[in-house]
Structures are given as structure tokens and as C-alpha cells.
Amino acid sequence: MSHGSVDHGANMAYGAHLANDDNPYHPFNSQIKWEVARWAKVRGATSTAFTDLLSIDGVSERLGLSFKNTNELNKIIDHELPTGRPKFQREQVVVAGESFDSLYGDTDFARYLTFAPEHHYTDEDQTVRLFHDMHTGKWWWNMQKKLDQHCPGGTIIPIIISTDKTQVTMFRNKSAYPVYLTIGNIPKEIHCKPSHSAHILLAYLPTTRLEHIANKASRRRSIANLYHACLSCVLAPLEHAGLEGINMCTGDGALRRCHPLFASFVGDYPEQLLATGIKFGDCLKCDVEKDNMESNTVQLHLRKIGEVLDALAALDQGNLAFVRACATVGIKPVIHPFWEKLPFANIFQSVTPDVLHQLYQGLVKHLLAWLEAACGATEIDAHCRWLPPNHHIRLFTKGITTLSCICRFLLGIIIDICLPNNLNSGRLLRAVWGLLDFMYLAQYPCHSTETLQLLDEALDLFHENKLIFVNLGIRTNFNLPKLHAARHYPRMIMQFGSTDNYNTEYTERLHIDLAKDAYHATNHKDDRKQVMVKHPSAKSVSLETLATDYVDARGHGNAHVTLDSVHAKPRRKFGSHVIARRSDTALVRLGANSKDLQEFRVGQVRVIFTLPPKCIPLLFPPTIHLPTHLAYVEWFTLFSPAPDRNSGLYKVSRSLRGGDTMASIVSIADIERSVHLIPRFVLKDCDTFWLNSYIDRYTFSMFR
């Protein structure tokens, strides 16, 4: 491996103070020289730029440096630092068999670890079961029963493997398969955050193309066999330890006999195909026929791991018998897949749902293409440009560009679009409604048997109305593997807990922290929620200014919002540049019951203000306690008992009395959160809006 600034910098970070008791900066003889070297490897420019800097006459001499270029500095780091630079093992694979031990025994995780499966319920009768962390799922419970039959009293360590092919260099297009490991004993709130270091990088698997093999079929088969051979070596320690157990201590010193068992495989579709050996286009989990993938009623049966293992054992009977046996059970002829000898492992069950690639980059991508064909890209993009701002969304002034963001207002921008030949849009809206609800429900951090029923119902709603795309000539069938995969979500959530236990987005982020330079991948900004700004837009405002600059506006501004906040800003002018007025809409609490929708009302926040202390005694009796911060809001109508039957959205209009807008002054404490209203695009002067329930998870759950 060639010299690199990240490798040398990492070594300097932990090796500097171990070399010499008399000189903590050894092999440099002063702090300034040490700091220059550290800056060059950790914070500095490229190696070439640093060499160019030192080549300037007098720079190296005035700093008293013992190196005159990057290569000389690298040699010092490699040979003179006390522990030397960490070396990559150039073997067939890099084996890290005891990595799960370092997670299990980490003192930082000790008080959070779980050691046994549990059943959680919402009611005393235990009729509504909850699923969230892995230990609340059925897999751990079932594995504990199997383990107790073989070796009673053991503690299971669920092994979660993540892998995703990634580019690891910025030149020559070098790529690898990083393999990460975490354990299900660590709560998802910890292992989902890279900063907590709850994942370990096991190895980089090779991604050679084997171009010397002329036959393409043989080449693909060899690549798959190489992948499994390497991963088998990495996970080989799980064979004996999983079955017989090993004594392990947690960070607090408690000793248990632990059984690390392969639980789930996290990866996108190409990695899932590679891991399972399933052919492209087939279901990774069940044996449904391709022509039945679009069905929402056909019975699903998990692939039988016993039959697959028998087919793999046919390798002893010769290549032809082996290939035929594998074809019979629906897998490719992979020689000794990595999961073949792992105790109690079922790879078809272990492959988990993939929200990022299956839903957002799969179903949403398809859906956008269908809607573009049905409604017209020009019309959809025009509606995107007319959307009012909100801190939860990014406004697309040039049309649709980002899949995950467009879901937050997709239904609202098509709700008033006319279909070709005056076709009724009801089924189109209900189909979109069903898919959006499914995606939001699928990402709940805690599920119950009731929400899983809602998940099924949302998918049913799409299937009941999907023929609208056939009628529009957009589709002929819906035999899409990623659509079919949605049917497996409820079962998988019951097995392994909510989908944030095995999100492939974590792997994407791990590449940055464990395989790339994190500093250059961030924008150095922290997001935080806030309603009140630190400083008001004006310290003193007259009533006349309020009327002209704040309140006299029906439209919404164009400002890009990045914070979770409610804005009430006057029209401002900076030279020739004019910033429009902005008055955000918010959900205002009217009563004490936060679960009753009728206890809330939408208001447009025109002004956020405080009263001068000297004025308060003149306006209010001493018995009244006045809140410090107040808001002037203009009201919208109360919520109807039920949402629109085609979209599931609530419709509100401006509240008028005698032609005048109804308004009140409320306490800031009564503003629950901002809400996003989507205008009725068919109306020229819009006073009627759809409340966007997809703006965030809280709003979705509240209005569903």
C-alpha cells in the first residue's frame, strides 16, 4: 500500500507520546516540529503541495525540520515512531475473528447491552406486541430456544454483517468490498451512529474482474466463488464459537458463555444477490414465480434452507450433478457459500429489508417516472416551483431532483393535476397515497402488531389502484422485484425489529468514517431544532410598520430554510435586491389533549414579539401572567372529521368573518410545530390548502 496522509496521520495520533520518556515529541526534538509534521499528515494539503512548500528557500531551515519533503517525513513515521505504521496483511483475506469480542467487552457499551430476547406489549392482556430493537424480535427468541436444546444457558450475540462495494481511492477508480460487523446486543440508537464506533471494519474483500478468464459465465461464477471464499475465511471463527460458545466478559466484568450467531446480512440488491446466490430478478427470500411477483395475495413461502444445503452437498457427486441440484432449488452453483457451515444460519431469512435501495431508489424512482408520464414533467416541475417554504423540505426551483426529499410533498403537487383524456385522478392519488404511507410506516422506529397491519393495508391500497398506470399506457405489468420485496417487510420487522436496525444508509456513512476522510465529507454545520431565534429581526416596531411590512401579505416567500423554525419576516431590501415577506404556518395547540386533532388549528404566524415591560401594567391587571414571547397568527378553518378520501390529506381554508381574516395573539408555548400547506394549484387566488402530512414522521403519525 502506498504512503497516504490518512495512514500516517492516524499513526502519529496514537504513537507520538510513547517513544521517549524524556522527549514526548520523539522522533522530533521540539513541539513545533512535531506540530508541523502532524499538520502535514492530518490537516495539511496534498503530499505534493507540502513538498513544494518545503522546497521554498529557507522554509525548512527556519523551522529547523529534519525532513525536506514528504517522502523523508514518511520514512521517519514508518521507521522511527515507536509502534511503526499499522500494516495491512497482504493475504488472501484479512481475518479478524475476535472483532465481536471488542464490541461486547467495550466499557462504553456495557450498561446498554441486552443479553436475552424479550416480548414487549402495549397492553396488560398482551394482545398488541411491540417490535423495535433486535431483542424484541422473533429471531432472537427462536434462536434462544434452539440454542438451549443444544447447549442450555448460553447468551446469544447476534452478528450483523454489512457490506457495500465502494470506491476507496480518488484515482484509478480503485474499489473494494468493505465488510463491517456489529452486534445486536448493542441498541440500535447506538450502532446507527458512526460516531459511537459500534461497527468494526473486518476486511476489504477483493473486487478483481478476473479478466484473464475468457468465458463470461465462468468469470461471473469465479467472482462469486472468490467473494464467498474470502467471506468464509473472515467468518470462520463463528462456526465453533457459535455452536459451542466462548467465555466472554462485558465491560463491567460480568462473565458469560456467549454464542455469536450470524443473524442478518445488510446490503443493497447486488450484494444480496451475491450473498444468497439467487439469480437476478428472482425474490431473495421466497420461491414466488416471476409472473406472480405483482400479486398482493399469492401465498409467500420462505426458501427452504435445508433443501439448499442438500443441493450444495451435491458438489461431492461431480460438477454436473452439483449444477443441476443448485438449479433445482433456484440458486447459482456457488461452491461453499460463506453461510453454509454457520450454525443455525438461514441466509434467506437473514437478508433484511433495504429502505434506501428498495424503496427510495427503487419504488420512488419508478413512481416518479410513472407520474411524469401520466401528468407531464412540465406541470409537475411548475408545481414544485410554486411550493411555499418549510424547514423540513428543500425547494426545487428547477423541478424534481432528489428522491428522498420529493416524497415529502409528492402527493400534494399532483393532487390537482388533470390526467389525459379527462381520466379521473382518484385511483392515481390512492395509488400514490398507498406507496407513500407504506414508506413512512416502514421506517417507524417502533412497530406494533397494529402498525404492521397498517403497513399491509397501505400496500393493499396501492395494489387496488395500480391499474390506473396500465389504463394510462404507462405499464403492462408490475412484476418488479423491489415492489414484491415490500411484502416481506412485516415479517422481517417481526423477526429482527424495526428497519433502522439494518439500514443500508449506515453502511454508506461507514465508508466515510472508516474508509474515507470524514472531514472533507461534512459541511461542518450542526442541525438543531428551534422555534425562537436568538435575536429578533427588529428590536422595536411601530404598529404602522407591522401593518405594512409584516401583516400585509398573503403569499409566501422564496427563502431557503435550513433550520427547524417558524419564520415571520418583513419585506427587506438590500440595495437592488429585495427579500420577500415570509410568514410561516404552524400548528397551534388549543386544548390539552395532544392526541385529539380537534385540539389543534393551523395559523399563519405574522409576527413574533415581546411587549415592553413598562407597557404591561398599563394593558393588563396584575393578576394576569403574561408570557414573555407572543405571536400574532391568522387562522385557518378547523380540521374536518375525516381527510380527503382520495389522498388522505386534510383541506383547510382561511378563516374569514365578514370578509376579514380571523386572527389572535397566542403564546409561543402554544405553537406545537411548523406545518406545510400546499396550495390548490387550480385556483388563481388561492385561499384553500392541503395540509402536507408527509413533511416529517411526527406530522405523518399525527394526521394518519
pLDDT tens per residue, range 145-157: 999 999 999 999 9
Phi-psi region of 46 (alpha: psi -120 to 50; beta: other; left: phi over 0): beta
Residue owning grid cell 426458501: 303
pLDDT at 6 (0 to 100) = 35
* pLDDT-derived band at 69, boundaries 50, 70, 90: confident
DSSP-derived pairing of the beta strands 155-163 and 255-266: parallel
Q: Reduced to 3 states, what is the DSSP secondary structure of residue 156? A: strand
User: What's the average model confidence in pLDDT over 476-484?
Assistant: 94
Q: How far is CA 686 from CA 99, 388, 657, 679, 681, in A?
A: 60, 12, 18, 6, 8
The strand ranges marked E within 3-152 are 120-121, 129-131
Rounded distance between C-alpha atoms, residue 333 and residue 348, angstroms: 16
pLDDT score recorded for residue 633? 96
DSSP state of 31: H
Q: Output the pLDDT for position 86.
A: 45
Residue 247 has pLDDT above 70, yes or no: yes
> Average pLDDT over the chain, rounded to whole?
83
pLDDT tens-digit series, residues 341-358: 999 999 999 999 999 889
How far lies 13's CA from each of 69, 83, 198, 511, in Å? 20, 12, 21, 21
Residue predicted with more confidence, 528 or 476:
476
Q: Where does residue 42 rank: exposed (0-12), middle (13-18), buried (19+ CB within 10 A)?
A: middle
* Residue 518 in this model has a pLDDT that exceeds 60: no
Mean pLDDT on 194-210: 82
Could you give the CA distance from residue 513 to residue 437 in angstroms, rounded to a whole number? 33
Q: pLDDT (tens digit, 9 = 90+) per residue, 365-411?
A: 999 999 999 998 888 888 887 788 777 776 666 666 555 578 888 99
Give this prediction's pTM. 0.78
